[in-house]
Amino acid sequence: MLNSTYALSEENQMKFGVIIFPGSNCDHDAHWTIGHVAHQPVTFLWHDSHDLQGCDVIIVPGGFAYGDYLRTGAIAKFSPVMESVRKFADGGGLVLGICNGFQILCEAGLLPGALIRNVGLKYVCKPVHVRVESTNTPFTSACREGEVLTIPIGHMEGNYFCDEATLAELRRDRRVVFRYTDLNGKITPEANPNGSLDNIAGICSPGRNVLGMMPHPERFSEAELGGTDGFKIFESLVGAMAEKLA
């Protein structure tokens, strides 16, 4: 399925690492997508180890890390693996946080803001539409700016919040990567599934090498799952590495 333009020789393939925390439940989904759909080397990384095993991309997956006790991501940020992930990201390494992973990245200080309880205080699980606000990231280079993707969500705490100064900075630097919209790409309150500030569904770091997103791209990466829009995130990552190694 991977675009042949981005095919990498065996010696130049990028290696992905998927972290497993106690309570992770989307780790195997991400591992499958990377290994069997994107055809890239992938390994699991244990939460209690500092060793990132030479990975080029780190995936912080969805689930309920440490049972989401205290609040989402509050305990996971103290795990040994996250200490290594911080250093990895500070050095320009690529890090993708999905759902609970986005929450953990915010708690760990790799991304600003916080994910709080959904408006309505209900768990929401359904496909949503998100508009690609920036293609100037390694995670969205295979997309078109303004393109509307259909990707599922499944969360109770997906309501992105930050202070006014942070929001202004995110807007100014075009670090809002995804926004919830309707099918036609229009931002409306009805298209916002969780009350997220400014309809934000995903943001990136100042260096654009860390991305957090609430939708689950691994759940819409094969036609058998009902859609393939999510695969564009993984295709973008492989493409970014192909260009780097060209």
Quick check: helix, strand or coil at residue 36?
helix
Residue of 26, 31, 47, 99 with catalytic role: 99
CA–CA dist 174, 191 (Å, integer):
21
Tell me, yes or no, if 218 is annotated catalytic: yes
Residue 175, amino acid: R
Facing residues of 124 across strands? 155
Active site residue 224: no
One of 31, 155, 216, 235 is an active-site residue; which one?
Answer: 216
How far apart are the C-alpha atoms of 92 and 86, rounded to whole Å? 10
Looking from the CA of 204 toward its CB, the CA atoms found within 13 Å total: 25
Distance CA 233, CA 235 (A): 5
216 counts as catalytic: yes
Give me the active site residues, please. Answer: 99, 216, 218
